[in-house]
Amino acid sequence: MRKRNTAAFTFLAWTAFITALLAMFIGIYTLDASLPVKGYYAVGTLYLTMSAFVLQKTIRDNEEDTAHERKYDKAEEEL
């Protein structure tokens, strides 16, 4: 089975993600604001990150399920 992404592209994607997340938290840490404000931004960042992962996984799973259902329906029709 052929891989969808090369190792270089996977590395690039993870590096960009980690760099962006690290930059966000450095920005929050150096922000001249009270601790509750920093906490709000930190929790918001974590929630947004988590929800992005869950959303992309859900979309991917739904697409794969649809493809499997089409194959199953096509095989059923041939019988």
Q: What is the pLDDT of residue 51?
A: 97
With CA atoms as reference, report the closest residue to 45 among 59, 57, 53, 9: 53
Q: What is the pLDDT of residue 1?
A: 67
Cα separation of 3 and 32, whole Å? 46
Q: What is the pLDDT of residue 3?
A: 77
Query: Any idea where the domains of the chain sit in the sequence?
Result: 7-78
Q: What is the pLDDT of residue 44?
A: 97
Tell me if 41 sits within 8 A of 58, measured CB to CB. Answer: no
Residue by residue, pLDDT tens for the chain (79 residues) are 677 889 999 999 999 999 999 999 999 999 999 999 999 999 999 999 999 999 999 999 999 888 878 877 777 777 7
Q: What is the pLDDT of residue 54?
A: 96
